[in-house]
Amino acid sequence: MLVYIGDLTALFTTTAAALRPGGVFLFSAEAAQNHDYILLPTQRFAHAMQYLERIAAATGLTVRKTQAATIRLEKGQEVPGHLVLVQKV
């Protein structure tokens, strides 16, 4: 779902408020290069890992694990992305 949202501030703020201590939020995001986030020609947003880490920290969430991954196929081509696990401590 993050591919349909550019600025993730509101989502992360709301998620952090809803989680109990120890609660986790696991998500995937399409990988961006040279931008915090960018709207691609596919009309989907891509997000940089550094942006995801920064916004998680700013909203009181701790990044526990990240992994590069293919998040889908687009016209037969692999779309690179991130798998991210954050936790409220």
Domains plus CATH for the chain?
Answer: 2-88 (3.40.50.150)
Average pLDDT over residues 9-31: 98
The pLDDT tens digits of the residues spanning 27-75 come to 999 999 999 999 999 999 999 999 999 999 999 999 999 999 999 999 9
Res 11: pLDDT: 98
The distance from CA 89 to its chain's CA centroid, rounded to whole angstroms, is 19
Give the pLDDT confidence score for residue 41 in this predicted structure: 95
Residues paired with 64 in a beta bridge: none
Beta strands, E only, the chain: 24-30, 37-39, 45-47, 61-74, 77-88
pTM: 0.94
